[in-house]
Amino acid sequence: MDVHLVLPWPPSVNAYYRHLSKGPLAGRTLISKDGRVYRDTVTEIIKRRNLKTMASRLMVTIEANPPDRRRRDLDNLLKALLDALVHSGAIADDSLIDHLTIYRGPRCPTSGKVSIDITELEEATEC
């Protein structure tokens, strides 16, 4: 089964987490409000598509269309994006990804987006 998704631009890994320094939870690292909002948004998109959870070995290709001309490290997008795919039930676990490609596409002004192709792979035999 192959799935094509177009999702909003994710928060970078730098904005995905927040570290608590005060109160009873001091010292803990949590997903930030922006991260939780992003996960919920992706979950709503996946629910509307009524997708079955992909639980076999996977190949994932991501085209990242940034919202502006700022310099960005593409690898900083992966944590929030892959966690959202797991949280939404699109894929069972990101450890199932055997082949991962990410590349920068043309700029998509105002909001940015990511286009994702997920392909189930044949089970590999022993080498």
In tens digits, the chain (127 residues) has pLDDT values of 799 999 999 998 888 887 777 888 777 878 889 999 999 999 999 999 999 999 999 999 999 999 999 999 999 999 999 999 999 999 999 999 999 999 999 999 889 999 999 999 987 667 7
- Per the DSSP assignment, residues forming a β-bridge with 61 are 101, 117
At 112, list the tokens.
Answer: 């940015």
Q: Which pLDDT does position 125 carry in this prediction?
A: 65
Q: Which pLDDT does position 21 carry in this prediction?
A: 78
Residue whose C-alpha is closest to residue 56's, from 102, 93, 4: 93
Say if residues 8 and 113 touch (Cβ distance below 8 Å).
Answer: yes
Other beta carbons within 10 angstroms of residue 16's beta carbon come to 22
Residue whose C-alpha is closest to residue 61's, from 9, 106, 118, 3: 118
**d(C-alpha 95, C-alpha 73), whole Å:** 22
Q: Which pLDDT does position 93 carry in this prediction?
A: 96
